[in-house]
Amino acid sequence: MSILITNGTELRNAVNRLVQNTPATDVHTHLYPASFSELMLYGIDELLTYHYLVAETFRHSSLSYDEFWGLEKHHQADHIWSTLFLEHTPISEATRGVLTTINKLGLVSDEPKLSQYRDWYDQIQPQELVDLVFDLAKVKDVVMTNDPFDQDERDKWNSKANVRSSLDNRFHSALRLDPLLNDWETTAKKLNQWGYRVDAQLGETDDESLGEITRFLWEWIQKIDPLYLAASLPSDFKYPNSDIRTILIQKCILPICAKAKLPLSIMVGVKRGVNPSLRLAGDMLASADVTSIENLCRDFPNQKFLVTFLSREDQHHLSVLARKFKNLMIFGCWWFLNTPSLIKETTQMRFELLGTSFVPQHSDARILEQLIYKWSHSRAVIADVLVDQYQGVLDTGWKITHDEVERDVNDLLSDNFWRFIKK
């Protein structure tokens, strides 16, 4: 018989233990396994030159953009370390994340030095590091972002007859469609170069082009066996609309999702290149049209949609929408929402509106070791919010058991996702 939780201390202890130690499925990352060699990003220099820290550095640095980008990566890392960690206290979420990572890896010392961290990384093999990071982060599975329009990644998938057979089985693929939906003119040229006869002036009655696009998608689904198809869309995304993006969604993407029985993941709210001089760090956000997701969920009731929005202002609308459509699963606190104060606010609102029927977090990690801090920081916030929600239940006189908390935490950190996609 399951043990009842009888007081606040027992509740907090049980929730903290389970949230901290239950293995998670990270449903959206930009990570690669060790077998993808140079595409797998790791190490202290990669952590320090992550675009969040680059943008923050320019808040303080006297270097011009051109001077900074002219530096070798390890010199960029030196400059960021000096600027953000030595000349200023590292209290931002991005800098604290580096400190958490260093701490969890056991690299803390009285006099922290980059040379010490670099020496440690020189002694560890990539696969060994993958195993260590997954263990420290308590992550059992990650979903990659696999872009068939990126030449380096195409080369990896095309280098062997069956790349999937050599994949670390903790890494799962997702077919990313951003270039197709956001830059059709450039993408059309690439498809033609690769032997797919498509017209840059795509129309909804252009059966040849639509058939060729569908053929391309189906071939890549067969090649990489994705868990879902995915796209990051701009803040001005509208559906339906009189544009090529709507044609592609209606005529190619949703039919191929139905054929392959795959969800479509949609991430909305990006404004690209607000400051081009910052390169990857120069992207911004804006509030977007949640009604477009409403239209998709209503018009395609048998299609499953995994959805997240970038702007804080859109979270309430999205959460209420998820109450109306069982084919909508909202997930994570994406990008600029992935800070403790906003994770807390967003997660509490979702609990209050949706119970436990959502996926509270994903890392969006680009560098392997980011799994450590992003999950560590998120778990602490999720546990605190969950304790408050359970306490409200206990206050009504309703009984809660340890087994019920364990079930809920497993649902939130992994099982909700796998049940939704039915894999």
Indicate the domain borders of the chain. 8-421
CB contact at 8 A, 75 and 114: no
What is the structure's pLDDT at 370?
Answer: 98
What is the structure's pLDDT at 200?
Answer: 95
At 108, phi and psi to the nearest 5?
-70, 140
β-strand partners of 307: 266, 330
Number of residues that this document lists for the chain: 423
What is the structure's pLDDT at 60?
Answer: 98
**CA atoms of 273 and 281, how far apart (whole Å):** 8
CATH code at 8-421: 3.20.20.140
**CA atoms of 33 and 224, how far apart (whole Å):** 14
CB contact at 8 A, 387 and 17: no
User: What's this model's pTM, rounded to 2 decimal places?
Assistant: 0.97
- 243: tokens are 């544009």
The residues of the chain scoring below 50 in pLDDT are none
What is the structure's pLDDT at 1?
Answer: 62
